[in-house]
Structure 1
Amino acid sequence: METRKAVNTLGDTQILKEDRLYIQSWLDAYFDSPHRDILMSLPAKMNEDDAGVPVEMQDGEVDEEGWVHWRMLDSAVTEEQIDELAEALIRPRSDACGAAFSVPPLYAAYLSTRYVLNVYLRYDGCTIALPNLPSDSPLEEIRKLWSAWPTLIEAGYIPFASYEDGAGPVCWDANKPDQERDYAVVWFDHESLLDEQQYSREKLELHAQTLCSSFRAMLMQSASK
């Protein structure tokens, strides 16, 4: 049993390394854009409670309006930190609906490869915002996202991004895994989630709008545009 576990760990480590290389290449291509100056300019963080660009990520001087160019940095987030967050906020809730969930490897690579801001997937005419990963609190946005939707998680829908300027959460359907430890992707309009405090899986299925077969497929399709 220990040997099998060791082999699995080594295999997972290699997959994560390959996925991190893919994320590096994807981010480089994403920001190699005519819109680079716009994408890589945001308000600077002026105090501890600000959500702006941390000092370590600032690239140049803050302008008179408080904006600054920013740069990507190598991340120090570990797989263990992601697992611990999922263990605390997802697994106790998703287990309630019988859905054994683990964070897809490519998404774990996104969370742990670089500190990065302003990442949007353009998919079938819509824009999907991935969590910002600032150097001073890289997992804070995903922590808030997982904390904000306990009823979705309990029904097996795990949020990982936001649809069209906060129109609703984009989620994995933990009941529909694929062969690469990824999941089908759906989204929920906020308005469809306002009327009730508790949601059954059956009710939520009526509101789940299909987006893609997996996060990996979504990322690859976005890269091809």
Structure 2
Amino acid sequence: MNELKPYQDWMEKWLDNHFDTPHREFLMSHPAKTDEDDFGVPVDMQDGEEDEEGWVRWKMIPSTVTVAQIRELERAHGLPVTVPPLYAAYFTTRFVMSVTLRYNHFGIELPGVPSAHPLRDVHALWENGKSLIRESYIPFATYEDGAGPICWDMLQPREDGDYPVVWFDHEALTEGERIRRSVLETLAQPLFPGFQEMLSSAGSA
């Protein structure tokens, strides 16, 4: 039995709605992949021909990421709990190049899930967020223009498996040093009650 199925169904509809916008052409264009390790659009996600600048439209295709792969990554990075099921559904439903969430005064970038290296972006988030993870703040997205990590507060679980969403300004975090939970609590800026509310209240552009 696939316990994620209801969340995957929700995520599939949300992704379709997110990209159903007059800005679709802009949102779903990206440089084409030219090297195995670059961040371009893989061939199987390309939707048409490259333009003269090497950009190409991309399309969503079914994800082949498994829950087991996500759990392995969680263990590798020492996450104290599993990620919310809707976040796992994000990786296991569709391959996407980029998802930008727009709000009144700011934006949030979810990690890309390209068919080549689909977990690379979230791996980087967790690798760079070791000091936060040790204090039970789990990075899962990025405030616009790389201004800081968007995190769940894992010490405040909800019954539905979700967690409150907070933001840390990277300028307030001392790079390379461990900041105690008591200090992080004063730096955490509340954003949303949970991940689903974050997605549901966003615009696409």
Give TM-score, length-normalised by structure 2: 0.95
Of 121, 126, 132, the residue aligned with 1:141 is 121
Of 78, 85, 109, the residue aligned with 1:90 is 78
Deviations 1:19-74 (A, max 9, x none): 10111100111111000000011101111121111111111111110100111000
Q: Match of 1:77, as an amino acid?
A: V
Which residue is equivalent to 2:152? 172
Of 6, 29, 37, the residue aligned with 1:41 is 29
**Which sits farther off after the overlay, 167-176 or 56-65?**
56-65
Kindly report which structure 2 residues correspond to 1:1-225, keeping only aligned pairs within 5 A, or say none: 10=1, 13-14=2-3, 16-91=4-79, 94=80, 101-194=81-174, 197-222=177-202
Would you identify which runs of 4 or more consecutive aligned residues in structure 1 move more than 4 Å? none
Q: Match of 1:161, as an amino acid?
A: A
CA shift in 2, pair 1:207/1:60, >3 Å: same
Q: Secondary structure at the match of 1:59?
A: coil
Q: CA deviation at 1:88?
A: 1.1
Tell me, yes or no, if the aligned pair for 1:128 and 1:163 is still in contact at 8 Å: yes
Alpha-carbon distance in 2 for matches of 1:53, 1:195: 32
Q: CA deviation at 1:195?
A: 6.0
Larger radius of gyration: 1
Higher helix share: 1
Q: Match of 1:209, as an amino acid?
A: Q
Tell me, yes or no, if the aligned pair for 2:166 and 2:191 is still in contact at 8 Å: yes
Q: Secondary structure at the match of 2:36?
A: coil
Aligned length: 205
Q: Secondary structure at the match of 1:171?
A: strand
CA shift in 2, pair 1:196/1:132, >3 Å: closer
Tell me, yes or no, if the aligned pair for 2:106 and 2:144 is still in contact at 8 Å: yes
Identity of aligned residues (%): 52
Q: Secondary structure at the match of 2:196?
A: helix
Q: Match of 2:171, as an amino acid?
A: E
Q: Match of 2:131, as an amino acid?
A: T
Q: Match of 2:142, as an amino acid?
A: S
Q: Secondary structure at the match of 1:165?
A: helix
Q: Secondary structure at the match of 1:176?
A: coil
Unaligned runs of at least 5 residues, structure 2: none
Tell me, yes or no, if the aligned pair for 2:137 and 2:152 is still in contact at 8 Å: yes
Tell me, yes or no, if the aligned pair for 2:64 and 2:92 is still in contact at 8 Å: yes
Tell me, yes or no, if the aligned pair for 2:149 and 2:170 is still in contact at 8 Å: yes
Q: CA deviation at 1:218?
A: 1.0
Deviations 1:146-172 (A, max 9, x none): 111111000110000000121000000
Q: Match of 1:177, as an amino acid?
A: P
